[in-house]
Chains A and B, each alone.
Chain A
Amino acid sequence: MLHIVACIKQVPDTKIIKMNPKTNTMDRASAPAILNPYDAHAVEEAVRLKKRYGGTVSVLTMGPPPAVKAIKKCIEIGADEGYMISDRAFAGADTLATSYALTKAIEKISKIKPVDLIICGKMTIDGDTGQVGPGIARRLDMPPLTSVNKVKEINVKEGYAVVQRKLEDGYEVIQSTMPCLMSVEKEINEVPYSSMTNMLKAARYQPIIWAVADLEDVERTQLGLKGSPTIVSKVWAPTKPSGGEMLEGDAAQQTEKLLNILLEKKELFAGKGGA
């Protein structure tokens, strides 16, 4: 039976978040916390695979106690079990330390039930790095399948998965051994309106919460701020570009003008596939 772990995160809704103009950091209190939208697609895909092949879906998150809400949201989507690692020692983690902590949690989940597949969202909307998924794959020595926009086949018995990846210049269909890790694009599926059965299950659900002490073989120096080599030297809100040039005239005239500008500034485009 297929056991899928979906890694998720609770994030501030960056559509409405405000930046503190003095410190140039996000004012997290200014926006409600939501399930990272890409992760909703990851969980939905896990649930769809469960329906196709049978099995169970576990979700995993690292976060402060209120992040239980994000796990409940995943139960609404159709996940069976939710795990959360929550501890002061995890605070301040960058993507390296986060992938380490999540890996340790996945190792513990595997002991309860072996994991065949890990699914992550493409990236979080508060960090935009997309590094945690591949980081976990590397640590667990699994093939990382990024930018997946279609899961074509899963064969647990023979231990392989066939997926379609979305690249900048087209699509790529690849076969990978399992277990493997996928990070998925948001167009992979649409998250439907949850059923009442799942809503009631989520309302009653309490996730399994682990602190650092509950995990095994953990090197504390690799956790949280201590385990994070990333240095954020400066964060700022980009200034809105001003001015620009409006091209006027009919379609032919505008095309002519645009062509001239492009030719004039062709060195700007050089180097990318050759101008």
Chain B
Amino acid sequence: MLNLVVKRLLWGIPVLWLVLTLTFFLLRAAPGGPFDQERELPAEVEKLIAAKYQLNQPIVQQYGHYLKSVIQGDLGPSFQYVDYSINELITLGLPVSLKLGFYALLLALLLGIGLGMVAALYANKWPDSVAMITAVIGISTPNFVIAPMLIMWLAVNWQWLPVGGWSGGHWSYLVLPVITLSLPYIAAIARLVRGSLLEILNQPFIRTAKAKGLSQKAMIFKHALRPSLLPVISYLGPAAVGLMTGSVVIEQIFGIPGMGRYFVQGALNRDYTLVLGVVLVIGLMMLLFNLLVDLLYRLIDPRIDQNSPLSVGNG
């Protein structure tokens, strides 16, 4: 187990390096720069600014510099938010995004597993049909379609909830973003649970349990549920990645000051260090989360081969 963790973390270093390098050169290949303004600055001033942020050096040298400071844990100064370092910005934005993502994932798991169980228990009866039709619609409706509609009804027309904003993460500001962010995952998890639970309920060990007169409740919660959650766990990896990208849109719509918004704003403003910092943190989160999923998977299903260190959770 420890072996796996170490191997995966070591493996993460070249991956993160690749992410950083790709992003760095992509950013620099882009037209425009961080200090372009509508009113043109005198050439001397521009030179001074470029010198201050070391943008006048050859690009390879800048790259070397940046890499060195990243290794030392310093993500550099922001080009747009004067007086802020990227480290500070990320310390502000990351907890917000994490909170949003955590509640969304929690809601998706609870509702998804619940709905999937109901659908499997009433397989091919009306609750099943209703649940599965809702699931297909849920998967097929992008969150940027649902979000404005919910805002219109719940926030604008009925004024139950705030339209947007964050307000330090007060629960009323969390409700709408969390619901919209989690809907597609509720649907996907419900479908996974239904499928695997149906398959498990046909297995011989369940038949035996039934023959021995076990109540349906005990049968499901003690025997069938645990193995049927395996596909859900391997789905958690891709789901987390989806939540991170999904929250780019959600943060944009609801005006939430998280990583996703920094990313889009940073890219539009050519705030090189901010974009690099956000991409690096997201890459790291993906890596850690996938590792966590793999560990969880091995915990629930000890049959998994311990010696295949790189079998990634998804796929």
A and B part of one assembly: no
